[in-house]
């Protein structure tokens, strides 16, 4: 992948440089940065040394981006970044946090073109978000450096559900009682949207009770927020999709009319034509509960149909994450038949702190893993698993294409798919009803004892 990226970047970065007849120093800087993304280890090492000796921190943001697109260069990148910043971080995640905390560090002159080229390599349609005028400082409210790739192969790689088919509750025999659903009730129109389906799509556009709405579900941060999409001053409701981009681990959605990027938490545009419009999408209530509880309260609720127009495995728990290995690895090391067999294999996992205890969940059983390969992100774990390095636990939405191509094998026939925690979000800037305040206080008081009960293994 690094070699293909380098070829593409060369065309985008160097040709404009030559046409503009820039000074040799600028051309050489672009060449050296380009080398960092190449698979030629010798050239990469030489250019990293050159950038370190140059001594200007303005290339730090480019080196952090290289951490994501060229994970095999991680140790060398860390050394150069440490020398330029004076900070002892390592790994893409740590450097992203450093970048977030240091907005005063400006990028070198060619950085914007580099970012556009990187995203354009992944999918040329991504470039609609990185046009020069659209990404000018006056047209964005977040740093360009902090807009990162979410791991999807293309724009709309996670397709929204636009006005999907609904069925009656009695027809929803595919749902289990404990399946979680997003529940929405507007003007007597009551509907349920199962998370086992929404996890594959992350957004829907709909008219419920005569109100145009869109639900944005961020599986990374576990939040689902329902917005009204008819806004003052526009003739028709906005239609939203998932951009495939993230900002501080939170999804960025986009509207299909203007291609503006929107913050999923705030309902405000953060980049593009609508960034200065003053529009803030109104939030509507949405419940997250089990299908059994929702059906009991609203027996006449309509439910999202499995006939979405997309070919996905909407099985219970499938969309979240599971255990994978490559065929080459399994041929050499053997197929684990039970969770305990994992202990004899090389495992690829992610930790946040050195003191973290590494365990994987298999139903009600937790296995403490032996020392293995530590990653900074699920994307690096995915790449290492494809290379046959070991067994990893990956989000299915990330591994699905590799499984379909036969590049990865899902272990244990999906019996131990892992569910995410779900969080409730409420805007602190809005009026908080007294009943909600009481509920929030009850939750705060109940959580510590509930956590202790779960950690002790007691049953409810």
Which of residues 85 and 396 earns the better pLDDT score? 85
- For residue 94, tell me if it sits in a domain: yes
Any domain includes 192:
yes
Q: Which of 56-65, 208-217, 289-298, 441-450 has the lowest mean pLDDT?
A: 441-450
The C-alpha atoms of residue 86 and residue 98 are separated, in whole angstroms, by 11
| Res 27: pLDDT | 85
**Are 289 and 388 contained in the same domain?**
no
Residue 423's alpha-carbon distances to 82, 249, 426, in angstroms, are 36, 15, 10
Asked whether residue 163 carries a pLDDT value surpassing 70, the answer given is yes
The residue among 273, 304, 335 that closes a domain is: 304
Q: Are residues 52 and 101 in the same domain?
A: yes
- pLDDT band of residue 419 (cuts 50, 70, 90) is very low
Which pLDDT does position 158 carry in this prediction?
Answer: 87
329 and 294 in a common domain = no
Is 337 inside any structural domain?
Answer: yes
Is the pLDDT confidence value at 320 over 70? no
pLDDT grade, residue 435 (50/70/90)?
low
Cα diameter, the chain? 72
Confidence band for 314, pLDDT divided at 50, 70 and 90: confident
In a domain, 44, yes or no: yes
Total count of domains within the chain:
4
Q: Which of 276-290, 387-401, 421-435 has the lowest mean pLDDT?
A: 421-435
* 36-80 confidence digits (pLDDT tens): 988 889 999 999 999 999 999 999 999 999 988 787 788 999 999
* Pair 229, 338 in one domain: no
269, two tokens: 């545009």
10 Å Cβ neighbour count for 229? Answer: 22
Say yes or no: 401 and 366 in one domain. yes
Report which of residues 7 and 396 the model is more confident about: 396
Residue 359's pLDDT is: 65
Residues 296 and 374 both lie in one domain: no
Section 107-130 average pLDDT: 88
In this structure, what CATH number is given to the domain that contains residue 387? 3.40.190.10
Whether residue 246 has pLDDT greater than 80? yes
Residue 299 pLDDT: 96
Return the CATH number at 265.
2.102.10
Q: What is the average pLDDT value for the chain, to the nearest integer?
A: 82
CB 203 within 8 A of CB 214: yes
pLDDT of residue 420: 43
* Local confidence band at 388 (pLDDT 50, 70, 90 cut-offs): very high
Do residues 249 and 336 both lie within one domain?
Answer: no
Last residue of a domain, one of 122, 151, 185: 122
Task: Identify the pLDDT of residue 422.
Answer: 44
Q: What size, in residues, is the chain?
A: 460
Q: What is the CB neighbour count within 10 angstroms for residue 129?
A: 24
Flag the least confident range among 219-233, 294-308, 434-448.
Answer: 434-448
Residues 292, 171 share a domain: yes
How much is the pLDDT for 164?
97
When pLDDT is cut at 50, 70 and 90, the band that residue 11 belongs to is: very low
For residues 293 and 374, which has the higher predicted lDDT (pLDDT)? 293
Virtual torsion, Cα 174, 178, 180, 182, nearest 10 deg: 80
Average pLDDT rounded to a whole number, residues 159-168: 96
User: Among residues 383, 180, 441, 198, which one has the least CA distance to residue 291?
Assistant: 180
pLDDT band at 329 (very low <50, low <70, confident <90, very high): very high
pLDDT of 357 above 50: yes
pLDDT, residue 451, reads 43
- DSSP H/E element including 452: helix 434-456
pLDDT tens digit string along 18-38? 333 334 468 899 999 999 988
Q: Does 151 fall in a domain?
A: no
Best mean pLDDT range from 66-80, 84-98, 142-156, 201-215: 201-215
CA distance 434 to 95: 42
Residue 289's domain spans which residues?
Answer: 161-304
Pick the last residue of a domain from 75, 96, 122. Answer: 122
Of 18-22, 146-150, 447-451, least confident by mean pLDDT is 18-22
Pair 8, 102 in one domain: yes
Q: What is the pLDDT of residues 360-369, one digit of tens each?
A: 766 556 677 7
Are residue 338 and residue 269 in the same domain, yes or no?
A: no
Q: Is residue 73 part of a domain?
A: yes
Per-residue confidence (pLDDT) for residue 459, from 0 to 100: 39
Is residue 377 in some structural domain?
Answer: yes
Indicate whether 69 belongs to any domain.
yes
Q: Are residues 15 and 102 in the same domain?
A: yes
- 293 and 165 in a common domain: yes
């Amino acid at each position: 992948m690094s070699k293909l990226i380098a070829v593409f970047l060369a065309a985008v970065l160097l040709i404009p440089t030559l046409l503009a007849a820039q000074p040799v120093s600028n051309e050489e800087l672009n060449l050296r940065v380009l080398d960092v993304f190449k698979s030629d280890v010798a050239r990469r090492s030489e250019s990293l040394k050159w950038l370190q000796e140059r001594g200007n921190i303005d290339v730090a943001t480019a080196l952090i981006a290289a951490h994501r697109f060229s994970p095999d260069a991680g140790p060398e990148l860390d050394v150069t970044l440490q020398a330029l910043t004076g900070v002892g971080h390592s790994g893409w995640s740590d450097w992203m946090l450093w970048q977030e905390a240091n907005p005063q560090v400006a990028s070198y002159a060619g950085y914007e073109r580099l970012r556009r080229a990187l995203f354009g390599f992944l999918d040329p349609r991504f470039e609609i978000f990185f046009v020069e005028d659209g990404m000018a400082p006056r047209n964005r409210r977040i740093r360009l450096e902090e807009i990162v790739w979410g791991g999807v192969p293309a724009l709309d790689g996670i397709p929204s559900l636009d006005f999907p088919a609904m069925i009656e509750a009695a027809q929803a025999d595919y749902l289990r009682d404990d399946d979680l659903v997003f529940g929405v009730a507007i003007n007597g129109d009551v509907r349920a949207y199962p998370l086992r389906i929404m996890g594959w799509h992350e957004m829907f556009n709909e008219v419920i009770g005569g109100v145009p709405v869109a639900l944005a579900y961020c599986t990374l941060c576990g939040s689902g927020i329902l917005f009204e999409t008819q806004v003052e001053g526009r003739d028709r409701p906005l239609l939203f999709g998932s951009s495939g981009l993230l900002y501080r681990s939170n999804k960025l959605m986009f509207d299909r009319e203007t291609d503006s990027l929107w913050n999923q938490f705030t309902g405000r545009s953060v980049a593009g034509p609508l960034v200065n419009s003053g529009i803030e999408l109104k939030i509507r209530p949405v419940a997250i509960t089990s299908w059994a509880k929702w059906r009991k309260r609203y027996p006449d609720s309509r439910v999202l149909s499995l006939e979405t127009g997309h070919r996905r495995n909407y099985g219970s728990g499938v969309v979240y994450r599971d255990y994978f290995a490559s065929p080459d690895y399994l041929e050499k090391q053997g197929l684990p038949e039970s969770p305990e067999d994992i202990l004899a294999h090389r495992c690829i996992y992610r930790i946040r702190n050195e003191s973290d205890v590494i365990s994987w969940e298999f139903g009600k059983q937790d296995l403490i893993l032996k020392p293995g390969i530590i990653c900074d992100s699920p994307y690096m774990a995915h790449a290492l698993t494809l290379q046959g390095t070991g067994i990893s636990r990956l989000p299915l939405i990330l591994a699905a294409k590799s499984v379909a191509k036969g590049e990865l094998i899902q272990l244990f026939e999906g019996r131990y798919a892992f569910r995410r925690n779900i969080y409730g979000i409420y805007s602190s800037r809005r009026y908080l009803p007294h009943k909600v305040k009481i509920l929030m206080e009850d939750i705060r008081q109940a959580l510590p004892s509930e956590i202790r009960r779960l950690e002790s293994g007691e049953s409810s």
